[in-house]
Structure 1
Amino acid sequence: MKTTSRFLLLLSLFFAAVSCSEDYQGPVPYPTLMEAANEAGLTTLVSAVRAIPGLEATLQDQEAITVFAPTNEAFANALRDFKATDLNDLVTKIGGAQNLQTVLGFHVVPAVAFSRNLFEDNIFTTVSGQQLRVFNNNGVVTVADRAGNVARVVQADVRIENGVVHVIDRVLIPSIELPKPNLVEAATARGLTTLLSAVTAVPTLPNRLLSAQAITVFAPSNEAFAAALAIFKAKDLNDLVLKIGGPANLEKVLGFHVVPAVALSSNLAATNTFTTLSGQNIIVEKSGNTVSVKDQLGRVAQVVTPDIQISNGVIHVINGMMLPDLMLPTVVQAAQSAGLTTLLDAVTAAGLGNTLLNAQAMTVFAPNNGAFAAALQAYKVSNLDQLVAKIGGIKNLQTVLGFHVVPAVAFSSDLAPTNTFTTLAGQQLTVTKTASGVTVRDALGNTSNVVAADVAIKNGVVHVIDKVLLPTITLPNVVEAATAANLTTLLQAVTAAGLGNTLLNQQAMTVFAPTNAAFTKLLSDLKLNSLQELINTLGVSAVTKVLGFHVVPATAFSFDLAQGSQMVPTLAGEMLTVTRNGNNVTVTDKAGNTFNVVTADVAIKNGVVHVINGVLLPTL
């Protein structure tokens, strides 16, 4: 039956063509195709035909044609469907002038077919060589293209010189190989907005990906990025970039999702190892129709949309973000990069390096060199060793440095307006966040500014600050210091002379404290057997004077002394000769005896103690 109807159709077309041929004898009463198109307002069709060199002449030279001519609105809809801005852009989007010629030829049948000649279902071979299906339903004529899209004839049977034009409301698309989208276009079409924002945030990356010869992209969905934000406790993409270590590491993360080769899911083996653009390997596994990807940390994401072909490769959408080894610096490396040399010296002096490197999580408020320089000036010292001496030694240095470390990770974006943290020193630190920045207040109420925030490290974050933070530091009193140094004879003498309160209440003092051996030698020289015998022999007032001769009513660490000899007043009312020669300090009494300082610079609450190897004698 179909064969018969097609035969009748061809027969009717033949008679129609003969009829037209007879009609065309003598003066031609009908317009050309282009004249008819212009007259009908089909300006976009006219422009499209004339965009193909020679096409207008080719159509005009045809003996008989039927043209299904799209309206301007039909072309406008086609521009919208192909996301094209104008006809030239549409030509680009459909693959060039050759494909435009195929599209236009798909609207032309090399025979004359008036609407009255059409059956219910007609198949024509077009000038493009592809078949077009035309339906006639009680005078309503429609045309279907290869994709099944249907156009309706809105104006039929417009006679032209060599045939007929039917105006239609849709551009018909034949079977043509459309150009594949590039990565950006495909990601945009799939709604991968966060991935696009991330790629755009790395200046050179879009061009690298677009110009690559062949790539396979494992593209995290927006939900995958949202999950990564939650894991890193990041508020947005910018915050995530900070927490993974900056733009360089963002580039590394994105590059870890790109393989410089084309790998369609159908070409995958059960287990595949690919070297990514980041230089690190990613493992892709296939089981049946399920494809999964595994990162350096063993996390697995599944491919949820495979094989989105792009101009230079393929995209597989995945439901998780893959993380390479980001190689974040240690706290020591970060401090070196930031030029925090004095802080590093202090950490080394305090022996805290391993403690910081091995901490699971920490936030370091790291004083810059200027902050340490200001601290040296405030303590009237010239170097770190002298500062350590004035604050009470290595143990107190550990307390000071520990006061700068919080055993938790707190990027600036994690901070509330006011935060109270317990530090490694066991004391609390107050951190305040305002629109103008982040400040830190120490135990003494001094405020430091964060001058460089959010330096990501392997086990946390570093914020560089402009002042050294001071905790509450406990220095011993003179009695506690003497007890710790095992100066038992000196303590007995002080007690016997009733000088304890005098020394404890002194506002500032420097004590030259004789060792037990020094007292033993004095007793031996005086041929006495005990301290009590010495007290009995000299009397309490004389012993008090001797002890007072060891105390200077001012604080003088060894490095505060001028080079050479100097006379200093004592509580005994007599001057004591103190001599500094380099790092060596000696004291000379009224009898001309000179003794060495064997342990210098023991800081106490109200001054400093220097342990000496002899008992100083005033004028007795």
Structure 2
Amino acid sequence: MKKNVPFKSYLLLSALFLFFTSCEKNVDINDFENKTPPKNIVETAQETDALSTLVAALAKADESEGTDLIGTLSSEGPFTVFAPTNEAFSNLLSSLDNYNSLEDFSTDEDRAVLTTILSYHVVAGVSAFSTDLSNNQMISTVQGEDVTINIDADVFIQDATEVDAKVVIADVAASNGVVHVVDKVLLPQAIIDAINDAEMEALGTLVDLVVATEQLSILEAAVIKAGLAETLSSEGPFTVFAPTNDAFVELLGILGDDYHGLEDFDTPEEMDLLKDILLFHVIPNATVKAADLTEGMVPTALEGNSIDIISLDKSFVIGDATDTNAAITAVDIMASNGVAHIIDKVLLPQSAVDFVTSLRLKTIVEIAVETDDLSLLVDALVQANAGLVEALGSEGPFTVFAPTNHAFVDLLKALGDDYHSLADFDTEEEKALLVKVLTYHVVAGVAAFSTDLKDGQMIETLQGEKVGIRLNGGVHIDDATDTNASVVLADVKASNGVVHVINKVLLPQEVLDILNPPTPNIVELAQSVDDLSILVEALIQADAGLVEALSSNEFTVFAPTNEAFTNLFHALGSQYNSIADFNTHEEKALLAKILTYHVVSGATVASADLKDHQRIHTVQGESIVAFVGNSIKIKDKTFTKAKVIAADNFASNGVVHLIDKVMLPKEVLDILNH
């Protein structure tokens, strides 16, 4: 079975085919023709320019006492040799640390590595021509490991890496066997393991890794402060879930004003707490890579405490004694004594949760004021100027879903350029709107902890509308939008209730209706477009109920512009200077026939739905024909097509396409030409 090769020096090999220029350009089949009498394998290689590095490699390996690859490959054999080209050796050397050329194989140990590689290219006791090879055939090499033959149009040789070698010239016969030229140096598992071992030795310990990672500087300080640096530098192995600086900052924010940094952990009880928290991030005696993670409880170095590995969206999150899981943001950072995975939250054991609970409880407002990440919520409560600060400081109880600063920033961005800060809610109407938003986050009369919430539960808010509860890999809050809020910190107990910190400002339907007025119907849309004013006049002048009809149901309307109507008036002659000139019963009926010829009932036909030469039935009864090319044109019963000049103006009951011509059905032409 192939193995993945997780070391720098071999990563480049996985991209060889991206940089490889076909060896056929450098190796000429004529190099191997007309050689009489046949030479042995070594002589054949020596006479082939494209194999000069292979010859040099054999000679370099033979510099070690007791090694005679050239002599062996010059003997009676038979042998089968997979011969890498010069470029294949160049690619290998460029990807290996400390080996820039064959001259760098300067010690017996280095030459032993070279010998191992070279002997992996030799099959003894057989001259295996390409016709002797079969797909998935495994062949033992002189080195001792197997190579596998893959035949898919060409012949490929599979080694222990992820990239197969391609046979670029096959069946070069020699007096003592056969040579197949390949475009890659084959590597056995023994060499890969040796390189991996060497690179693992070069890695620092987990403590070294933390020290070298900027976003883990607070974790580094915490490990040193708790006296765990020596432990995590020992042999191990350990698996460490490493919280980022942001995660520690978030924790400190939760703890309140008494904890601005690690220096505030200064009592024996606080030092014990810090140590417990850190040990809770360590799995002892194991190197658990991302591929090894499975669902379930895993004991930590904090005796009697386990973390919960939870499957979520084809990945995993880490559960602790709180209701907020940690996401894994980077995996498999290898150290000499284990592996680290970076997470976005400080995991808290029960002892830490109990400690946080033991802190002096504050009111909901005090908690918000003392939590940096809720400062914009506090600003909003003040800006609303509706007594909300006083209310949420009263006895309660209340449940508050408290949006973070980032959630408010996202809301302000969504509202547009008129709202750069909460101070822009400065009119009475805007402050009233802000009150509706804020009271939608408050449940009065109950302190609902996460354990009290049920999936699918609907909870009435102080604003009057309800929010929905979703329990799926955490707690999520549904509002009137399409995007729910996630509880990023649950169950912050207050003296007058409980706060759940969420990552989104919740919006009720009442607010959405104010921010996003309903989409106009077709008539309202036409009335809002200056260039359709004559069309609107025509709908009214026809006096056939068209205004009412086009305000309901579903239609597609091809709407002539004012200029199109003006052109129609000119064509009709001096008796028609405006829509008002259609004033007799017969003329109004004629106008209705023209207008209904522009209407398709029962469908919203967007421009992308139109097909070339598509025949479309109109409300008038006759059909129009769509021509789709560089532009969209509509053919009526005249000789001039109408061009769509502004497509896809969607209304609540259909779509309007502006056209540059008033279309005429045959019925109208017959009347006009009578």
Per the normalisation by structure 2, the TM-score is 0.33
Per the normalisation by structure 1, the TM-score is 0.35
Please say which structure displays the higher CA radius of gyration: 1
